[in-house]
Structure 1
Amino acid sequence: MGHGMVRALAAGAAVLGASGLLGGCGALGGDSGQVCADTKKAFQQYITQVRSVPAAEPAQWRQATEKLAERLDALAKQTGDDDLKKALKAEAGKLRAAAPAVGTGDVAQLDTVMKQTPASIGEAC
């Protein structure tokens, strides 16, 4: 691992930061609005956490990625909106699938997930 991993995650974080996911969440009313706002917060916390982890410690990156997947699953259970529930569960699955590779320093799959997340969750929010 090394600078490539940091750059890949930074690129994914930039995409999230510039997206509707981090800019438009919470626009829906009811429980969906709160779940979208909480989703935004979960991704912000994830990005902050992984930026603080040294690139030489990929196991910590894996833990953070798995924790985000768990959080998205929990958020999916809180909403009554079927589209949002489906989007959150799908993202959680993608993150779980990417986590083992992240733990070895390979962020290619995570980078792809992070680039696709704004569109998939942003549409539901």
Structure 2
Amino acid sequence: MSALIKELTAEHVEITMALNKAKQLGIQSPRGREALLAVKKGLLAHLEKEDRLLYPALNRAAQSNSSLKRTLDVFAADMDKVSASALAFFDKYADGGSGIEFAKEFGGLFATLSQRIRKEETILYKKFDEVS
């Protein structure tokens, strides 16, 4: 496993732990909102790192690999939806909100991010290691 993939995988763990911390603190508390903001910042930094270091190498390899190109197209379309959903969630709860509504929407966000993380680690990151 490459150093980049190890780093990105470790960031997935950090993001997941930070999400759980924000949930435990609750959206009504200032500490909970701070934790949620930290998750947003961490997630955006992670996505920026993938855009800067992961995807350029994969896109270069996909120029001569149609199967990889299709995989990247699927991942890109999925990421557009995941990112929009996550950012809308963070914006909605930046200043607090209903505990019940937050819990419900948090569950949806957590499931979506968890599924994306699992797909990245089992498919995309393996493809990166194969081509780099």
Q: Which residue of structure 2 lines up, in the alignment, with residue 96 of structure 1?
A: 87
Q: Which runs of 4+ in 1 moved over 3 A?
A: 58-63, 85-93
Structure of higher CA gyration radius: 2
Deviation at 1:40, TM superposition (A): 0.7
Q: How many residues align?
A: 95
TM-score (norm 2): 0.54
Partner of 2:48: helix, strand, or coil? helix
Partner of 1:6: none
Identity rate, percent: 8
Q: Return 5+ residue gaps in structure 1 as ranges.
A: 1-27
User: Does the C-alpha gap of structure 1 residues 76 and 123 become closer, same or farther in structure 2, counting only changes over 3 Å?
Assistant: same
CA offset digits 1:50-104 (Å, max 9, x no partner): 31x2x48255433322321211111222232226x96778655433311324721
Change (3 A) 1:120 1:78: same
Contact 2:86-2:109 at 8 Å conserved across structures: yes
Matched, 1:70 2:14: no
**TM-score, scaled relative to structure 1:** 0.56
Change (3 A) 1:62 1:69: same
Q: Distance in 2 between matches of 1:72 and 1:88?
A: 12
- The alignment yields a C-alpha RMSD, in angstroms, of 3.1
Report the structure, 1 or 2, having the larger helix content: 2
